[in-house]
Amino acid sequence: MSQNLDWANLGFGYHETEYRYVTNYKDGKWDEGGLITDANVVLNECAGVLQYAQTVFEGLKAYYTKDGHIVCFRPDLNAERLNNSAERLIMPKLPEGRFVEAIKAVVKANKDMVPPYGTGASLYIRPYMMGTNPVIGVKPADEYQFRVFCTPVGPYFKGGAKPIRIKISDYDRAAPHGTGDIKAGLNYAMSLHAIEEAHEQGFAENMFLDPATRTKVEETGGANFIFITKDNKLVTPKSNSILPSITRRSLMYVAEHYLGMQVEHREVLFSELKDFAEAGLCGTAAVVSPVGSIHTKDGDINFPAGMEEMGPTTKKLYDTLLGIQHGEIEAPEGWVVRID
Ligand SMILES: *Cc1c(COP(=O)(O)O)cnc(C)c1O
């Protein structure tokens, strides 16, 4: 099923591919698992995932490097994070080896859907796990399904990353002592109303503050923040209610070891925002999106270094990480994993 897609004009959307991976957990163990072609999931009406949102997910990309290999980026960290998320929702763990094998199997089976090098497009991979057996009393399911599907996605920024305008959200994305640090649909459900409202008001994203005190910077609905100080340090929020982004952790390493910058991973007060030189969002989909301004109740905070285009240090971080991912700059051991 070879399709010639218009890679450069693909959006970030779902495009059904031929194969997906499925394994089921029952009586305390995962079955052998394998590839299937049916894109639909058939579940009992009372399945744990449908009633009590017992589901967690991951997101990563496969793409071609310059020398013609299909690779993915740090899948071991996705496996680890999926298991941390699963543990928090009383779901079983999937061994890291099986997670990575499933990713490789799906990408190889849908090889035709990996966009060519240089198009900016990639194959987005979505692993997820859900409670499948009926649960009507409030309790975790006993049976689970882990699936991996993939979908080709276009370049996140057509014509380069333009700085976005964001706003401080009037809502919280997570409960103060809740599940804000896991990758789960329940946190996204919490952010939907806020994002729709922000869009209606002309903002691209929300900045959520810490739910307990609303004095500290957390993240957006689906990306972590990085800030650059006027003396060129990388500052990024530390909190137990934000998701540990793999892109953010990689950028911290790149800043320190490739660009010789100082890195501060600490609480970031809302009141500090006005003193930063550059701001950006980071996550797998866009890698880095520059933030040009943040709307607050007391007026806008503008980042002059990055109002029209990506700020100079953010750009260096972005270019270096992208270069590492695509095999143009030597990667730290284990970061770029070959699939084919
Ligand atoms: C996935 C996700 C991110 C980004 O994480 P990456 O590992 O960099 O893709 C950030 N915040 C939330 C809430 C997420 O779900």
Tens of pLDDT, residues 17-55: 999 999 999 999 999 999 999 999 999 999 999 999 999
Tens of pLDDT, residues 153-175: 988 877 678 899 999 999 999 98
Domain extent at residue 97: 7-153
> Could you tell me if the CB of 206 is within 6 A of ligand 1?
no
- Do 127 and 273 belong together in one domain? no
SS3 per residue for 85-96 = HHHHCCCCCCCH
Of 153, 174, 193, the residue at which a domain comes to its end is 153
Of 120, 153, 186, the residue at which a domain comes to its end is 153
Q: Check pLDDT > 90 for residue 234.
A: yes
Say how many Å lie between the CA of residue 244 and the centre of ligand 1. 7
**Is 183 in the active site?**
yes
- Do 215 and 188 belong together in one domain? yes
> Could you tell me if the CB of 222 is within 6 A of ligand 1?
yes
**Annotated catalytic residue within 61, 104, 167, 183:** 183
3-class secondary structure, 209 = strand
Of 132, 153, 174, the residue at which a domain comes to its end is 153
3-class secondary structure, 325 = helix
| Element containing residue 265 per DSSP (H, E) | strand 263-266
Query: Are the C-beta atoms of 57 and 126 separated by less than 8 Å?
Result: yes
Q: Check pLDDT > 60 for residue 1.
A: no
- Indicate whether 334 belongs to any domain: no
Q: 238: domain CATH number? A: 3.20.10.10
- Do 186 and 139 belong together in one domain? no
The total number of structural domains that make up the chain: 2
Say how many Å lie between the CA of residue 333 and the centre of ligand 1. 22
* Residue nearest atom 4 in ligand 1 by C-alpha distance: 283
- Indicate whether 1 belongs to any domain: no
Q: 28: domain CATH number? A: 3.30.470.10
- Rounded Cα distance between 55 and 47, Å, is 11
- Indicate whether 338 belongs to any domain: no
Average pLDDT, the chain: 95
> Could you tell me if the CB of 59 is within 6 A of ligand 1?
yes
- Indicate whether 330 belongs to any domain: no
Given this model, what pLDDT does residue 60 score?
Answer: 98
- Rounded Cα distance between 196 and 206, Å, is 10
* Residue nearest atom 14 in ligand 1 by C-alpha distance: 222
Residue matched to tokens 């500090």: 272
Given this model, what pLDDT does residue 304 score?
Answer: 78
- Do 173 and 144 belong together in one domain? no
- Indicate whether 158 belongs to any domain: no
